Structure 1
Amino acid sequence: MSNFIASMKQHAKTAWGIQGFPTIMVINIFLGISHAFILPFNSLFGIDEVGMSNTTFGIFMLVSSLCGIVLSTIIAKLSDRVPDRKFILILCSVAGIIGYLGFAYSRNYFVLLIFSSVFLGVASSTFAQVFAIGREALTRSDVPSKQVPLYMNILRTIFALSWTVGPAIASYVLLFMGFTGLFVVAATCNAVVAIIALLFLHRRSEAAGAKSEKANIPLKKIVFQPTIFINLVAFTFISAATTLSSMNMAQFVTKVLGGGKEDIGIIFSIPPVFEIPFMLGFGYMATRMKSDRLIRLGAFLALVYFCLLFFADAPWHIFSVQILSAAYISITSGIAITYFQDFLPEMPGTATNLYSNSNKVGNMIGFLLFGIIADAFGYRNVYLACAIFTLAAVVLLFGLNRAKSASNQVSVSG
Structure 2
Amino acid sequence: MIKTTFSTVKERALFVWKLPSFPVLFLINFILGLASSFFAPFSSLFGIDEVGMSNVGFGVFMTITAIGGVTISSYIAKLSDTKVSRRKLIILTSIAGMIGYSLYAYFRNFLGLALTGFFILGVTAAGIPQLWAYARDALKEANIPSEETPFIMNIFRMFFALSWTVGPALGSVLLLHFGFKGLFLFVAAGYLLVLLTVIFLLKDITSEQRVAKESITVTKYMKQPYIFGYLAAAFLLSAATSIHMLNVPQFVTKVLHGTEVDVGIVFSVPPIFEVPFMIIVGVLATKIDNAILIKIGFAIATVYFLLFSFVREPWQIYPLQLLSAAQVSITAGIAISYFQDFIPEAQGTATTLYMNTTSIGSTLGYFLFGLISEMINYNQVIIIYTIFAGLGLLFLIVFGKQKMTANQLENQQSIN
Q: Normalized against structure 1, the TM-score is what? A: 0.89
The one of the two structures with greater contact order (alpha-carbon pairs below 8 A, sep at least 6) is 2
Which residue of structure 2 aligns with residue 114 of structure 1? Answer: 115
Larger deviation, residues 304-313 vs 276-285: 304-313
Larger deviation, residues 389-398 vs 305-314: 305-314
Deviation string 1:108-161 (CA, Å, 9 cap, x unpaired) is 432222221111100011010111111111122243211111111111110111
Q: Please tell me whether residue 363 in structure 1 is matched to residue 362 in structure 2.
A: yes
Q: Quick one: which amino acid aligns to residue 348 of structure 2?
A: G
CA RMSD of aligned residues (A): 2.8
Q: Quick one: which amino acid aligns to residue 304 of structure 1?
A: V
Q: Quick one: which amino acid aligns to residue 290 of structure 2?
A: S
Q: Please tell me whether residue 233 in structure 1 is matched to residue 232 in structure 2.
A: yes
Q: Distance in 2 between matches of 1:231 and 1:68?
A: 21
Which residue of structure 2 aligns with residue 139 of structure 1? Answer: 140
1:83–1:206 CA contact under 8 A, matched in 2: no
- Structure 1 residues 160 and 269: CA distance shift in structure 2, 3 A: closer
Which residue of structure 1 aligns with residue 18 of structure 2? Answer: 17
Q: Distance in 2 between matches of 1:281 and 1:201?
A: 29
Which residue of structure 2 aligns with residue 168 of structure 1? Answer: 169
Deviation string 1:65-117 (CA, Å, 9 cap, x unpaired) is 11111001111111111262110111111111111121223334322222211
Q: Distance in 2 between matches of 1:52 and 1:203?
A: 43
Q: Distance in 1 between matches of 2:133 and 2:214?
A: 14
1:307–1:383 CA contact under 8 A, matched in 2: yes
Q: Distance in 1 between matches of 2:377 and 2:38?
A: 31
- Structure 1 residues 352 and 245: CA distance shift in structure 2, 3 A: same
2:138–2:205 CA contact under 8 A, matched in 1: no
Q: Distance in 1 between matches of 2:37 and 2:334?
A: 21
- 1:305-324 to structure 2, matched below 5 A, reads 305-310=304-309, 318-324=317-323
| SS of equivalent to 2:91 | helix
Query: Offset at 1:336?
Result: 1.1
Q: Distance in 2 between matches of 1:161 and 1:231?
A: 27
1:64–1:117 CA contact under 8 A, matched in 2: yes
Which residue of structure 1 aligns with residue 106 of structure 2? Answer: 105
Q: Please tell me whether residue 86 in structure 1 is matched to residue 87 in structure 2.
A: yes
Q: Distance in 2 between matches of 1:129 and 1:206?
A: 13
Which residue of structure 1 aligns with residue 278 of structure 2? Answer: 279
- 1:213-252 to structure 2, matched below 5 A, reads 213=212, 216-249=215-248
Which residue of structure 1 aligns with residue 398 of structure 2? Answer: 399
- 1:251-330 to structure 2, matched below 5 A, reads 260-261=258-259, 267-310=266-309, 318-330=317-329
- Structure 1 residues 367 and 234: CA distance shift in structure 2, 3 A: same
- Structure 1 residues 106 and 409: CA distance shift in structure 2, 3 A: closer
Query: Offset at 1:177?
Result: 3.0
Deviation string 1:153-173 (CA, Å, 9 cap, x unpaired) is 111110111111112222333
Larger deviation, residues 133-142 vs 265-274: 265-274
Q: Distance in 1 between matches of 2:101 and 2:257?
A: 36
Q: Normalized against structure 2, the TM-score is what? A: 0.89
Q: Quick one: which amino acid aligns to residue 236 of structure 1?
A: F
Q: Please tell me whether residue 338 in structure 1 is matched to residue 373 in structure 2.
A: no
Deviation string 1:311-353 (CA, Å, 9 cap, x unpaired) is 5677666543332221112111111111121111222222121
Unaligned 5+ runs, structure 2: none
2:44–2:249 CA contact under 8 A, matched in 1: no
Which residue of structure 1 aligns with residue 389 of structure 2? Answer: 390
Q: Quick one: which amino acid aligns to residue 150 of structure 1?
A: F
